[in-house]
Structures are given as C-alpha cells and as structure tokens.
Amino acid sequence: MSKLEATGYVIHRRPYRETSLIVDFFTRQYGRISAVAKGARGASKSDRKSLIQPLQLLSFELSGRSQLKNLGIAEALQSSLNLKGTSLYSAFYLNELLMRAIPETEPMSMLFEQYQRTLTALERVSNDNTAAEINANSIPTGDVEPILREFELLLLQELGYLPDFNYTADTGEQIIADLSYSFVSEQGFIACSAKQAYALSGRDIISIAQKDFSPSARRAAKYICRQAFLPIIGDKPLKSRELFISR
C-alpha cells in the first residue's frame, strides 16, 4: 500500500458511515485531495474529532491506491486561526471556491502559498478590527475585498482563465484609461460605449492589473471575477455567499 506525506488545510468535510468523515484537503504537494478519516465523528473518542477542523493546517499521511485515500497519522502545524465575522465568512468562501473550481490531485504550489497569505491577511483584518473595538461581524467589506480579489485573480491565472488586463480581446489594442469596455468570459475586454450595461472603465481595469483596488476598481474586479468563474463553477450559487447577505 503506497503512502504519501502531505501538508495542507482542511477545506471541507462530510459524514461517511457511522464514525468517519470524508475530508477534502488543499495541500502544497498534491493540490486538492480527499481522504477517509476513520473514527473522526460520532461517539468516537479519537483526537481527530478536534484536529480535523476547517482551516486547520496539518501534516499528515495518506495511504491507498484509489483516488479516495485513507488518512493516517495527522498533526497540527499551527494553532487555529483567529477568524471572526466577515473574515471567517471570507475564508469559508475561499474553501468553497477551491472545492468547486480546482480539479483533484493537481498541484498548485503558487496558489497554495497565496491561500496561506490570504488567510493570514484575513486574520490580521479580524484582529485589527477587534482591537479597534469594531464588531467583527461588521468589518467593512472594503477591508476584505482586495484580499479576496487577489486570491481569485491568481486562481483564474492558475486555471488559465485570467483575462488580459492590458490589451483588448478582439483587436489587441492597449486598454485606455478614458475608454469603456465590456467583459466577455473566456475572451476578455472589448471596447464599448460608456452607456452600455455593465460597461467598465479602462482606468479601473488598469488599476486592477496594478493591484490598486480603489472603491470603483473593487466593484469592477468583483464583477469581472464573478463573470470569469461562471464557465468554471457554473451558475449554482455558492452557499458561503449567503453568509454575507444574511449578516
């Protein structure tokens, strides 16, 4: 029986039989991978019940020749993240996006590093707002949106769906700040009238490319990312987005 060693985060889990879980990990070595964690739920007194939690970074062993592995020895590599309110909902969103967007067992080391940086940034936002005596549930979305957009843009790049933010898709002309553009999924930006529905400012497109997320660029980036992900994850709503709406 072959064994694999991996480092990764728990991004999803679901019941399996009476006392076990099927756990989805996002790992440095293998991308997204699934495993059966025996004795991790129900009346079992296994330490795994407290160890296998969403957003927990683990070092672990996997065994088995099928696509669905068996989880062996697992050890926490850091304490649980201190995420609250909007920051926590944002992390759940990242996990659901990974579950829906990336194929299994396809290594994405750059994305894994960005995922870690994103969680760290979300934790910092959560702690900063708590220190400032702001309710964590009321963290301004402007604090987390640039963090999420940077992750989404890298994910699109890794999947081959990132549009060219410098040149138009149809003519190859450079994006001009004073012109307007429409965004077409799987193609890119096309010059259009400023009066056209969902027209985007060239200035905002250029700002996004430079990771300069002004309020208008944030709105544009959110629209672009949502449209760009449609061919990848489909139009079935992400459950984690409901957390933001219900606040």
Confirm if 8 and 34 have CB atoms less than 8 A apart. Answer: no
pLDDT tens sequence across 111-146? 999 999 999 999 999 887 665 544 545 455 678 999
Residue 188's SS3 state is strand
Confirm if 28 and 8 have CB atoms less than 8 A apart. Answer: yes
pLDDT at 220 over 70: yes
- 180's CB contacts (< 8 A; 6+ apart) are 191, 192, 193, 194, 196, 199, 200, 201, 202
pLDDT at 246 over 80: no
Domains of the chain: 3-76 (2.40.50.140), 85-246 (1.20.1440.120)
pLDDT tens sequence across 165-190? 999 999 999 999 999 999 999 999 99
Residue ranges of E strands in 54-131: 57-63, 69-76
| pLDDT at 151 (0 to 100) | 97
What percentage of residues in the chain have a pLDDT greater than 70? Answer: 89
- Higher-pLDDT residue of 65 and 32 is 32
pLDDT tens sequence across 14-54? 999 888 899 999 999 999 999 999 888 766 556 677 789 89
Phi and psi angles of residue 47, each rounded to the nearest 5 degrees, phi first = -65, -15
Task: Report d(CA 26, CA 24) in Å as an integer.
Answer: 7
Q: Kindly indicate the confidence band of residue 3, based on its pLDDT and cuts at 50, 70 and 90.
A: confident
Confirm if 182 and 168 have CB atoms less than 8 A apart. Answer: no
> Token pair of 107, please?
């290594």
